[in-house]
C-alpha cells in the first residue's frame, strides 16, 4: 500500500535525470536530422546516404512491426 492507504501502484511522473540521459541519444539524432534537413553542408553532404539508409531502415522496422503485430493478433 502507498502513503494514502490505497493499493495503487502508480509510479511517480515527471522528468528525472535517468529519463533525460536515456533520451539524450534520441535528441542528438533528431538534431542531426534537423541540421541535415536545413543545411546538408553543416554535417557534410557525404553523410547523406547514411541518413537516407537510416530513415529507410526505420521505415521498414516500423511498418513491419505493424504487419507482424496484426498477424500475431490474428487480424491478418
pLDDT tens digits for range 6-49: 565 667 788 999 999 999 999 999 999 999 889 888 888 899 89
- What DSSP designation does 34 have? H
Q: What is the pLDDT of residues 44-69, one digit of tens each?
A: 889 989 999 999 999 999 989 888 88
Residue 54 has a pLDDT of 93
* pLDDT at res. 20: 93
46 belongs to a structural domain: yes
What total of structural domains would you count in the chain? 1
Which residues fall within 8 angstroms of residue 40, CB to CB, at 6 or more apart? 48
Residue 39 within a domain: yes
Indicate whether 28 belongs to any domain.
Answer: yes
In the numeric block, which cell numbers belong to residue 22? 536515456
d(CA 14, CA 59): 30
Residue 31: domain span = 17-72
Amino acid at each position: 500500500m502507498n502513503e494514502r492507504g490505497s493499493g495503487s501502484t502508480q509510479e511517480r511522473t515527471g522528468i528525472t535525470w535517468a529519463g533525460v540521459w536515456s533520451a539524450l541519444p534520441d535528441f542528438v539524432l533528431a538534431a542531426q536530422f534537423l541540421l541535415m534537413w536545413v543545411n546538408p553542408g553543416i554535417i557534410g553532404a557525404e553523410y547523406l546516404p547514411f541518413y537516407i539508409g537510416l530513415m529507410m531502415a526505420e521505415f521498414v522496422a516500423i511498418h513491419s512491426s505493424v504487419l507482424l503485430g496484426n498477424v500475431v493478433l490474428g487480424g491478418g
